[in-house]
């Protein structure tokens, strides 16, 4: 082996090792978020969402302490829970913004197999995964009538086939889609009106951050008009969600 080849291999090995150390530090920092949450807010009473493991129904809203919710996420194989933190005091205490270097509006902590049913949101957002892994399917699809759209939504809110089943239906319709797996440190931008569905598949649960980017466009008449149309359409398609919005400010 020539000296040049040897040096090249050695340098590559050093670079890979340094990347490994950075990744391990990255994971350690993100585990700190959960540790801080339990240390400082274990007994804080909060609302959370729960759904049957193999169903895509709208979450039922319940109340418990943060400590109990996290414990149930870690220990139960039947309960599928989601905890949504939006309180600025808690988010600042957790130091999430320091880790990702960005403003944070929502922190979601979810059971290992938590899944979110097919839907779209009426705002632009950026999702950052900081613990665990989550699979997303995203696509754009319009319908000729409200009835067709309702039928499509109803089909996949009652389905237990998840992303695989949905992708087969999109293939049948000739609709292009993206399937993305987010691991710690990965980000995903989701524009308003883009359909998506998620599945978690990490053994220890997951944490992701959602940053609503609408503030940068708040004074745009075009954006506000599009958002108004989106909300009106959402009201017809997801009455359970709208009921939840009236009861708990759209938290679940």
Q: Which two tokens stand for residue 180?
A: 């993305």
Which has the closest alpha carbon to 153: 115, 198, 195? Answer: 195
Chain segment 155-203, per-residue pLDDT in tens: 887 666 789 999 999 999 999 999 999 988 889 999 999 999 998 877 6
For the chain, domain boundaries = 3-248
Count the residues in the chain: 252
Greater model confidence, 245 or 34 = 34
Sequence-separated (6 or more) residues with CB below 8 Å from residue 205:
73, 74, 109, 110, 111, 112, 114, 131, 132
Chain segment 222-240, per-residue pLDDT in tens: 888 898 899 888 888 877 6
Grade residue 12 by pLDDT with cuts at 50, 70 and 90. low
pTM metric for this prediction: 0.78
> Residue 24 pLDDT more than 60?
no
Q: What is the CATH number of domain 3-248?
A: 2.60.120.650
């Amino acid at each position: 082996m020539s000296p040049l080849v040897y040096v090249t291999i050695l340098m590559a090995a050093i670079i890979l090792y340094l990347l490994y150390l950075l990744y391990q530090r990255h994971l350690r920092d993100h585990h700190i978020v959960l540790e801080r949450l339990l240390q400082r807010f274990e007994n804080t009473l909060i609302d959370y969402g729960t759904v049957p493991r193999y169903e895509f129904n709208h979450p039922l809203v319940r109340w418990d302490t943060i400590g109990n919710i996290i414990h149930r996420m870690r220990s139960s194989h039947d309960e599928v829970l989601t905890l949504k933190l939006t309180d600025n005091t808690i988010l600042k205490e957790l130091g999430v913004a320091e880790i990702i270097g960005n403003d944070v509006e929502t922190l979601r902590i979810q059971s290992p197999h938590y899944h979110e049913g097919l839907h779209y949101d009426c705002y632009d957002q950026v999702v950052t995964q900081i613990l665990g892994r989550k699979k997303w399917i995203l696509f754009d699809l319009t319908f000729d009538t409200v009835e067709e759209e309702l039928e499509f939504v109803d089909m996949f809110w009652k389905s237990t086939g998840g992303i695989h089943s949905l992708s087969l239906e999109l293939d049948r319709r000739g609709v292009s889609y993206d399937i993305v797996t987010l691991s710690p440190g990965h980000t995903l931008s989701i524009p308003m009106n883009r359909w998506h569905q998620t599945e978690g598949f990490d053994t220890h649960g997951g944490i992701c951050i959602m940053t609503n980017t609408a503030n940068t466009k708040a004074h745009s008449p075009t954006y506000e008009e599009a958002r108004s149309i989106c909300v009106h359409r959402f009201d017809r398609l997801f009455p359970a969600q709208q009921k939840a919005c009236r009861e708990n400010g759209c938290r679940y």
